[in-house]
Amino acid sequence: MAAPPSTFTFALTPAQATALERWLRERHATFREVPHARFAAEKDRTQIVFYQSGKLVVQGRDAKDFVEFVLEPEILREARLGYEEVLQPERWQPRLGVDESGKGDFFGPLCVAGVYVNEAVLRAWREAGIRDSKAVSSDRRVAELARLIRETPGCVFSVVTVGNEAYNRLHRKLGSVNRLLAWAHARVIENLLLQRHRMNPPPVRAISDQFAHDPGTVGRALMSLGRDIELVQRPRAESDPAVAAASILARDEFVTRLARLEQEFGLPLPKGAGPTVDAAAKEFVARHGAEKLAQAAKLHFRNAARALGQPEPPRVDWRARTAGPRNPSPA
């Protein structure tokens, strides 16, 4: 029986990425285009994708051999595979991971998920392909991975969905996307810690992506239980399996909710915020009226102004708007 496909992720320096691309081209690997990737190639039965973020994903039936016999000795110049306990003892520590989906999508809700993992859960996922949902090939595969995460013994999870009407109300009240995200992340952490009796051993920290310039944005929104756990925010947090699992659950919930909205309103609602979304938004208003748009879309997006024939608001760097009340609530 053939070995199951494996997935490995690494962070590469620019020099290492250049060396890997050169190695692949010299050996006539097949290159292809992948969104957000600097390069993507296939060699034998291994797919190699290097993202603009600096993350390398190696997957396929021969991925383990590629890592052991090519990537480590020729590119990284160090052995990592099989030495995780020595090189990264924190890898197996019990923790929470938090991530969101729908933040950049005009249609559909904001979904934030949190996942508790321990050593047993992490070892169960080693060959499962749990990785950042943006690196997963299809919504169908996201759904399969989400089911696996939910069914893994010892894994505890929570998903908070902010529907469009609540989202628009909260955005008006809180004044920025960052404050809204901070509240939702804090709510998920609180929900998870209310299930702490199911976590063995208890988590030592919560990890999430740093979506605001001020790392205190989420900290100020934490509720009573959340203030008792270390909060770690860092760029590209999805490289942590706990955060990657949360990103998959959040994406699966977002895709499911978006499909329900499509069925409810009887027309396709594209993801993102590009030209196809503008066309769909105008069609939505034509069919259902301007007053219904708040039930399916995020009204602070510029797409809403274009669909409603209103002047577009000035562009604002939402990442810089981080100050806010200590404990915003959806009242």
User: Can you give the CATH number for the domain in which 71 is found?
Assistant: 3.30.310.10
- Least trusted range by pLDDT, from 26-35, 57-66, 168-177: 57-66
Residue 16 CA, distance from chain mean position: 25
99 and 245 belong to one structural domain? yes
Please tell me the predicted confidence (pLDDT) of residue 80.
56
Closest C-alpha to 330, from 172, 138, 102: 172
Residue 319 belongs to some domain of the structure: no
Which three-class secondary structure state does DSSP give residue 102? coil
225 and 100 belong to one structural domain? yes
Domain-ending residue, one of 201, 231, 257: 257
pLDDT above 50 (res 331): no
46 and 102 belong to one structural domain? no
Domains: count for the chain? 2
pLDDT above 50 (res 220): yes
Residue 264 belongs to some domain of the structure: no
pLDDT above 80 (res 83): no
Residue 275 belongs to some domain of the structure: no
171 and 38 belong to one structural domain? no
Cis peptide before 109, with omega less than 30 degrees from 0? no
The CA-atom distances, in angstroms, between 172 and each of 175, 297, 300 are 5, 14, 9
- Residues of the chain with pLDDT > 70: what percent? 89
Please tell me the predicted confidence (pLDDT) of residue 248.
96
pLDDT above 60 (res 89): no
The helix (H) or strand (E) run that includes residue 112 is strand 110-117
Residue-wise DSSP of 29-93? PEEE--TTEEEEEEETTEEEEEETTSEEEEEETTHHHHIIIIIIIIII-S--TT-HHHH-GGGGS
pLDDT band at 321 (very low <50, low <70, confident <90, very high): very low
233 and 136 belong to one structural domain? yes
Domain-ending residue, one of 87, 111, 140: 87
Looking at residue 313, the DSSP 8-state letter turns out to be: P
CATH code of 177's domain:
3.30.420.10
Please tell me the predicted confidence (pLDDT) of residue 10.
87
179 and 81 belong to one structural domain? no
83 and 98 belong to one structural domain? no
The helix (H) or strand (E) run that includes residue 8 is strand 6-11
- More confidently predicted of 123 and 295: 295
Closest C-alpha to 9, from 84, 94, 73, 103: 84
Cα gap 49→41, rounded to integer Å:
6
- More confidently predicted of 259 and 69: 259
128 and 11 belong to one structural domain? no
53 and 104 belong to one structural domain? no
**122-172 pLDDT, tens per residue?**
989 877 878 777 888 799 999 999 999 999 999 999 999 999 999 999 999
Cβ(319)–Cβ(211) below 8 Å:
yes
Please tell me the predicted confidence (pLDDT) of residue 72.
86
Domain-ending residue, one of 87, 119, 135: 87
Residue 321 belongs to some domain of the structure: no
Which range marks the domain in which residue 83 is found? 6-87
